Amino acid sequence: MLESIKGPSDLKALRPEQLEQLSEEIRQFLITKVSKTGGHLGPNLGVVELTIAIHRTFDSPKDVVLFDTGHQSYVHKILTGRADQFDKLRQRGGIAGYPNRGESAHDVIENSHASTALSWGDGISRGFSLTGQSDRHVVVVVGDGALTGGMSWEALNNIAAANDRNLIIVVNDNERSYSPTIGGVATYLSTLRVTRGYERFLDWGKEVLTKTPVVGNPIYETLHGMKKGIKDIVAPQGMFEDLGLKYVGPIDGHDVAAMERALLQAKEFGEPVLLHVITEKGKGHKPAVADEAEKFHAVGIVDPETGTPLSKSVTSWTSVFSDELVALGHERKDIVAITAAMLGPTGLDKFEKLFPDRTIDVGIAEQHAVTSAAGLAFAGMHPVVAVYSTFLNRAFDQMLMDVALHKAGVTFVLDRAGITGDDGPSHNGMWDLALTGIVPTLHVAAPRDAARLRETLRESLEISDAPSLIRFPKGAVQTDIPAFERRDGIDVLYRGESADVLLVSVGAMAAIAVEAASQAYREGVGVTVIDPRWVKPLPQSLVTMAQRYKSVVILEDGIRHAGIASSISELFREAGLNVALHSIGVPLEFIEHSKRAEILEDLGITAQKISRDIVEWSSTVEEMQFPAHENADRKQTR
């Protein structure tokens, strides 16, 4: 049946028994395809019937359907004609793992960062209202913990004041984000889940009153007086209704008929409505439910039957950090680990098992995490805030004004720094070096290998009067690269026989830098490779070292604009050092999903391309320094 679904209109003619069959086919399709490509499996298995009901009730793309976060949109993509593209999910030339305007008119926003869709929905529905498009609806599916983010509540506060919007909010309550959703909002939704008795209470009251007179009837008077109190006890949806939102639910999100009835009811209101829908993350795939749900939020290549990973096990950067933090946790009682709904992905789950009282998961609320960390530092603790690099963007103001301004001893650990690849433009951690470079007092380390990660993490925890930050990439950690020597904190990794080029390698770029230097040597160019380890503040000794070389090349896995090369250029300028300087890094543009190696190849960040560039730049410097005939003689003697 799935093969016959080319768009949402094909759903509307299906009978109820066909919808059940279609739901099963979609689940098997997702398990088969995502097991081969990797991707967000658990969340999408949980929204099958919910998404079918939405597309049967509304007319996308005339009606706008938004998902928060967007990793719940795989079923939406299938039902909007993209099933044949799932063989290349999250791969070059294939469809993205999040909604993507370039793929389909049915996708409006690329929202892999959570808690944004309600604000989008507010703006779009307001725009429809202001432009007289009263026949268009906006449906926002909010789930996987997105309602724990503060921006969602800022949006709800504004949405609730509107009474002329065709806006339907579907709260997909599966009790989880990456891991079990925590906090007051989660507790509140849990209460709503288990208190379904209010409607039965009203039905009983109506039945009693039909058998006895209403006026003066003590039962009626009692019911009338208790109505509000009973409602708050038996179905305490008052928080939403007190905001001014109509509340419908809880509804079984796996019952298409019940979902359609609720959505049709909401569609007729003509003002914002909140539907509370209960779903099971990972439904229909035994390995993806219960205790294993967190592992199946996002999977790599796995066995479709058992869910067992098929890729080779490697030591990851995340696991090295995780193990070292646990060791430090035993040594120091002041360490507190903080994350934003990502205990497992950031490696804090190991710390949490041993030190639950010193582990804090704030939900999808990076801003709160960072300012709370400042408070913990004031109280004598040393917080370690672990998030993905790209998610630090969401808490930049708090890092700047609450942590750095107050000289708080907080350590930030950024996983997935640099080019990550598969998850697309919003997940490439390419901005952190530029962003953190403008934060006064902040210390930034970029370890090149596991040994340096452990080393700089320990060093960062000794900084108590200023914030510090450690960044590392996604994936397997490379073999340790020992230094020939350490000069004033700068590691020398490769020494050329002549002082032609000083290659400054930032973080995990070290292996590429050393290989490029070796290749350039075979072309007659002497390259010395150094690793500052700490790239902010930059050591003044870098100026002294650079004076010996004809040119300096900086290799970093962040944007070139305002990155480490820019900081080094400013350092040299202030010192009055005039030396040719070249920057190799990421251009200032959004980079679509591909494998990390493919993207680096595209950007020319490979040992072979860098060595060629170094040789060419060195030749240019010589042409500038020597007359043509002298330069020719020099080349002949090499």
Q: Report whether 255 belongs to an annotated binding site.
A: no
Number of helical (H) and strand (E) elements in the chain, helices listed first: 23, 18
Q: pLDDT (tens digit, 9 = 90+) per residue, 415-427?
A: 999 898 777 777 8
Q: Which pTM was predicted?
A: 0.81
Q: Is the pLDDT of residue 588 over 70?
A: yes
pLDDT value at residue 302: 65
pLDDT band, residue 235 (cuts 50/70/90): very low
pLDDT band, residue 428 (cuts 50/70/90): confident
Q: Report whether 157 belongs to an annotated binding site.
A: no
pLDDT, average across residues 339-353: 93
C-alpha span between 211 and 417 (Å, rounded): 70
Query: What are the residues whose beta carbons fall under 8 Å from the beta carbon of 65, sequence distance 6 or more?
Result: 54, 55, 58, 76, 106, 108, 139, 141
pLDDT value at residue 177: 43
366 included as an active-site residue: yes
Mean pLDDT is lowest, of 61-75, 136-150, 560-574, for 136-150
Q: How far is CA 526 from CA 338, 514, 529, 531, in A?
A: 45, 12, 10, 17
Q: Quickly tell me which residue has 């973080």 as its tokens.
A: 507
- Of the two residues 620 and 364, the one the predictor is more confident about is 364
pLDDT value at residue 42: 82
556 included as an active-site residue: no
**Beta-carbon count within 10 A of 580 CB:** 16
Ordered by start, the domain boundaries in the chain are 2-194+244-296, 197-234, 317-416+430-471, 485-637
Report residue 613 as tokens. 């560039």
Which residue type occupies 176? R
Mean pLDDT, the chain, integer? 84
pLDDT value at residue 207: 54
What percentage of the chain has pLDDT greater than the value 90?
A: 54
C-alpha span between 354 and 346 (Å, rounded): 16
Q: Report whether 172 belongs to an annotated binding site.
A: no
Architecture of domain 317-416+430-471: 3-Layer(aba) Sandwich (3.40)
Q: Report whether 145 belongs to an annotated binding site.
A: yes
Rg from Cα positions in the chain? 29
CATH code for the domain defined by 2-194+244-296:
3.40.50.970
Mean pLDDT is lowest, of 47-61, 99-113, 166-180, 329-343, for 166-180
Which of 280, 294, 366, 459 is catalytic? The answer is 366
Q: Is the peptide bond before 69 cis (omega within 30 degrees of 0)?
A: yes
Q: pLDDT (tens digit, 9 = 90+) per residue, 269-319?
A: 888 999 999 988 778 666 656 555 555 555 666 666 666 766 777 899 999
pLDDT, average across residues 130-137: 93
Q: Answer whether 527's CB lies under 8 Å from 503's CB.
A: yes
pLDDT value at residue 634: 37
Q: Is the pLDDT of residue 461 over 50?
A: yes
pLDDT value at residue 584: 95
Q: pLDDT (tens digit, 9 = 90+) per residue, 55-69?
A: 999 999 999 999 998
pLDDT, average across residues 623-628: 52
C-alpha span between 188 and 195 (Å, rounded): 11
Q: Report whether 580 belongs to an annotated binding site.
A: no
Sign of CA dihedral 222, 225, 228, 232: negative
Tell me which residue of 85, 80, 104, 86 sits closest to 5, measured CA to CA: 80
394 included as an active-site residue: yes
C-alpha span between 182 and 188 (Å, rounded): 10
- Of the two residues 324 and 194, the one the predictor is more confident about is 324
Q: Report whether 366 belongs to an annotated binding site.
A: yes
C-alpha span between 72 and 44 (Å, rounded): 5
Q: Is the pLDDT of residue 409 over 70?
A: yes
pLDDT, average across residues 155-168: 86
Q: Please check whether the two domains, 2-194+244-296 and 485-637, share a CATH topology.
A: yes
What percentage of the chain has pLDDT greater than the value 70?
A: 82
Q: Is the pLDDT of residue 621 over 80?
A: no
Burial of 598 (0-12, 13-18, 19+ CB in 10 A): middle
Q: Is the pLDDT of residue 596 over 80?
A: yes
Q: Is the peptide bond before 440 cis (omega within 30 degrees of 0)?
A: no
Q: pLDDT (tens digit, 9 = 90+) per residue, 28-53?
A: 888 888 888 887 788 888 899 999 99
Residue 341 backbone zone (phi > 0: left; psi -120 to 50: alpha; other: beta): left
Sign of CA dihedral 352, 355, 357, 358: negative
C-alpha span between 354 and 416 (Å, rounded): 25
Report residue 484 as tokens. 């020939």
Domain 485-637 has CATH 3.40.50.920: yes
Can you give the length of the chain in residues?
Answer: 638
DSSP string, 559-580: ESTTSHHHHHHHHHHHHT---E
Q: Report whether 174 belongs to an annotated binding site.
A: yes
Q: Answer whether 261's CB lies under 8 Å from 52's CB.
A: no
pLDDT value at residue 443: 98
Helices (H), 78-183: 117-130, 150-159
C-alpha span between 188 and 169 (Å, rounded): 17
Q: pLDDT (tens digit, 9 = 90+) per residue, 173-206?
A: 876 544 454 454 454 455 554 444 444 444 545 5
Q: Is the pLDDT of residue 353 over 50?
A: yes
Q: Is the pLDDT of residue 332 over 90?
A: yes
Q: Is the pLDDT of residue 480 over 90?
A: yes
Which of 27, 77, 246, 394 is catalytic? The answer is 394
Which of 27, 165, 281, 471 is catalytic? The answer is 281
pLDDT value at residue 294: 56
C-alpha span between 623 and 565 (Å, rounded): 24
